[in-house]
Amino acid sequence: MAGSSWWVVVLLGVFGLVGGIGITAMGPGGVLPTIGLFTLTGVSPAEVAGTAIVTHVATGVVGTVVYTRSGQLRDPGTRRTALLLAGSAVLGTPVGVLVNSVVSPRVFGVVLGALVFAAAVLVLHRKPAAAALAHPPAPVVAGLGLSVAVVSGVVGIGGPLLTVPLLVALGVPVLESVASAQAQSVVIATVGAMGYLAHGAINWPLAAVVGIPELVGVVLGWRIAHALPTRGLRWALIVTLFALAPYLALRG
């Protein structure tokens, strides 16, 4: 960090802020800090993932608190979904961390690019919220949570990026999907951070530069989700993700 240009620091903060807004406003957004670290710094794939994922410990906790305050996580069905997602993350995240340890920068870029593209497609095609809260079967939720946790552990994301669009596709309304994913992200981030910390793959100064604005964004995103239409944010995110996907895949 000592030799970083001021504009790199500013851009990393912007990635964190916008990522935090995306996390609680509509789910996808947590990948933006990973993208910022991968494109703007020269750290290894393990350090990118470790640094990004440790920031999601705090964002997941704040997201869980604000969505409990607004009532979504007090609903028994939503709480059940959140617990299933969190439980499966305990098993899936260490697998992702292990996979990351053998991934080259080239492969990491391709995987991240593919993930960003998939997230853009999911956000683009997600269905409007159903009138009544749907509760998918427990094995389906657990399987979804396990798969997302593995991917999250590899690239250093908290989980909502994929979990929210997938839950919406299963018929769960957006706010309940976002709320459930916040609790999952706490577990993914905590378990993942412990794994990367054991390998010395967390850059704490970079985590602060990205993570502090990201926390501010989480609160702003929650307010946006409850107060304003998110259509403009949704389309901005879709365009950004589609534009970044090929760049990330080729950059590695």
The alpha-carbon radius of gyration of the chain (Å, integer) is 16
Please give the average per-residue pLDDT across 23-36, as a whole number. Answer: 80
Q: What angle do CA 138, 68, 150 make, to 5 degrees?
A: 45
- Token pair, residue 101, equals 């340890």
Measured CA distances, 4 to 52, 183, 200, 209 (Å): 18, 34, 21, 12
Question: Residue 239: which domain range?
Answer: 6-251
- Token pair, residue 46, equals 């393990």
In a domain, 42, yes or no: yes
In a domain, 73, yes or no: yes
Asked whether the beta carbons of 51 and 210 are under 8 A apart, the reply is yes
In a domain, 1, yes or no: no
Write out pLDDT tens, residues 185-214. 999 999 999 999 998 999 999 999 999 999
User: Whole-model pTM?
Assistant: 0.81
In a domain, 39, yes or no: yes
Residue 4 has pLDDT above 60, yes or no: no
Residue 49 has pLDDT above 80, yes or no: yes
Number of domains into which the chain is organized: 1
Question: Which one, of 5, 112, 113, lies nearest residue 48 by Cα?
Answer: 112
pLDDT band with cut points at 50, 70 and 90 for residue 139: very high
In a domain, 183, yes or no: yes
